[in-house]
Amino acid sequence: MTARKNLVSSGAVAAGLSNVAHAAGTDTIRIGLVGTGGRGTRDVANCAISAPGVVIRALGDLFKDRVDACYNRLKKTKQLTADQFQVTPERCFAGWDNHKKVIECVDLVLLCQPPGFRPIHMRDAIEAGVHVFAEKPVAVDPVGVRSVIETARLAGEKKLAIVAGTQIRHSAKAIETIKRVHDGRIGQLRTGACYCLTGELWHRGSDPKWSEMEYQCRNWYYFTWLSGDHIVEQHVHQHDIMNWAFQSPPVKCIATGGRQTRTDPKWGNIWDHFAVEYEYPGGVRVMSLCRQANNTGHRVDAWVVGSKGTAFPSRGAITGPAAWTYEKQVKDPSVQEHADLIASIRAARPLNEGKRVAESSMTAILGRMSAYTGREIKWDWAMKASKLDIVPKEFKFGPNPVQPLAVPGKTKLI
């Protein structure tokens, strides 16, 4: 399978499909999952229970054993009724083109394979006339970001939905907090901070039967071309909150970081800690810290400080002279994001979060690029001039040498 060839300009799915642009009223909406890991399995179940008349029709993944595991888990879950889970073995697909086969079966596709594939899968879905739910992040490099922005533009023309897995945007308490920030409740924004300080995540081991490519795809989190590094794959949530609060991506950033605990080659080529200073319009500085190491403290949060107080969107709170707390019961945003998506499709007013999530993904990528190279980087240069494209030119099992570990001062700014 060719990877990024004709990423922006060519259609990847044959014309003549029966997929509909939207379903009116409470008509059945057929959904399918691409990427049957834990996150994808939860997403497709959440989508199915988010509104009446949503049925799961197809599953796809690079690996058949992953598809089978997801199928068995969903079939047994008490969350779903037989009417909601309509997947048959004939609609379970594996291989490099599994996403195309799922797209042919559905009205809405959930794209949850590793982020390195996301720009390609999004483009294929939108060109086929299928609505998209795309897990975050949506790209791992500037080339991919620009592709997603173009796909979002195309989705707008075709009246198709793109909703992202940055679920905090669908949290009532966060929405109300940011509204107050934009209304001037905390005064002029002066600074902010965001954190994603956690322990290590999973590793799926190795098998002598696996090629280099299969090993990387099964342990995708630890390879920058697949995950974007943890600053992109995980910390993008907090970057998205910052862009939301400031109503803009940053102007530039400078960063540092490294690899202290991930010294074993099994950890691929990602780092384990980053520190980034972002500058937003008006010269406002925001500190971003992320780290993954066991037996350490845990902090996942984001806040902005104004001349009259501090706002905590994830907590639904403001401190200072105009103190305020969101006190209503909050619906699970990981379900609400799907409910909002389905409602927008049925109302023929499809949500389009594509450009927004592409910019949040690029905010995280900008921090990684600065840390990897040791250079201060401007947003406009990265968005318009950077030629960084880290995804392999062709997808196939076999050799796929690991990209060198980044060394500040030696890794080139591309």
Average of per-residue pLDDT values in the chain = 94
Number of domains in the chain: 2
Q: Are residues 99 and 232 in the same domain?
A: no
Q: Are residues 304 and 195 in the same domain?
A: yes
Residue 278 counted as domain residue: yes
pLDDT of residue 20: 44
Tell me the pLDDT band of 311, cut-offs 50, 70 and 90.
Answer: very high
Domain carrying residue 197: 172-326+361-384
370 pLDDT more than 80: yes
Stretch 380-402: mean pLDDT, rounded?
97
The whole-angstrom separation of Cα 84 and Cα 81 is 5
pLDDT of residue 80: 96
pLDDT of residue 4: 52
pLDDT of residue 16: 31
Residue 131 counted as domain residue: yes
Residue 88 counted as domain residue: yes
Residue 271 counted as domain residue: yes
Q: Are residues 191 and 98 in the same domain?
A: no
Cα pseudo-dihedral 247, 291, 119, 402, rounded to 10: 150
pLDDT in tens, 115-172: 999 999 999 999 999 999 999 999 999 999 999 999 999 999 999 999 999 999 999 9
Tell me the pLDDT band of 286, cut-offs 50, 70 and 90.
Answer: very high
pTM: 0.94
User: Three-state SS for 23?
Assistant: coil
Reported as type and span, the H/E element at residue 277 is: strand 273-280
pLDDT of residue 2: 54
- Enter the tokens of residue 88: 């048959």
The whole-angstrom separation of Cα 97 and Cα 93 is 9
Q: Are residues 228 and 376 in the same domain?
A: yes
pLDDT of residue 166: 97
CATH number at residue 270: 3.30.360.10
Stretch 384-393: mean pLDDT, rounded?
97
Q: Are residues 231 and 368 in the same domain?
A: yes
Q: Are residues 322 and 205 in the same domain?
A: yes
Amino acid sitting at position 276: V
CATH number at residue 55: 3.40.50.720
**49-63 CB burial, b ≥16 within 10 A, e <16:** bbbebbbbbbbbbbb
Q: Are residues 185 and 315 in the same domain?
A: yes
Residue 280 counted as domain residue: yes
Q: Which residues are CB-neighbours of 207 under 8 A, at least 6 positions away? A: 215
Q: Are residues 163 and 177 in the same domain?
A: no
């995950």: which residue's tokens? Answer: 227
Q: Are residues 161 and 247 in the same domain?
A: no
pLDDT in tens, 233-259: 999 999 999 999 999 999 999 999 999
Percent of the chain with pLDDT over 90: 93
Stretch 84-89: mean pLDDT, rounded?
97
Residue 193 counted as domain residue: yes
Tell me the pLDDT band of 19, cut-offs 50, 70 and 90.
Answer: very low
Q: Are residues 144 and 189 in the same domain?
A: no
Q: Are residues 98 and 59 in the same domain?
A: yes
pLDDT in tens, 198-242: 999 999 999 999 999 999 999 999 999 999 999 999 999 999 999
9 pLDDT more than 60: no
pLDDT in tens, 49-78: 999 999 999 999 999 999 999 999 999 999
- Under DSSP, the state recorded for 352 is B
Amino acid sitting at position 371: A
Q: Are residues 274 and 341 in the same domain?
A: no
pLDDT of residue 355: 98
Residue 266 counted as domain residue: yes
pLDDT in tens, 24-53: 455 999 999 999 999 999 999 999 999 999
pLDDT of residue 314: 97
Residue 74 counted as domain residue: yes
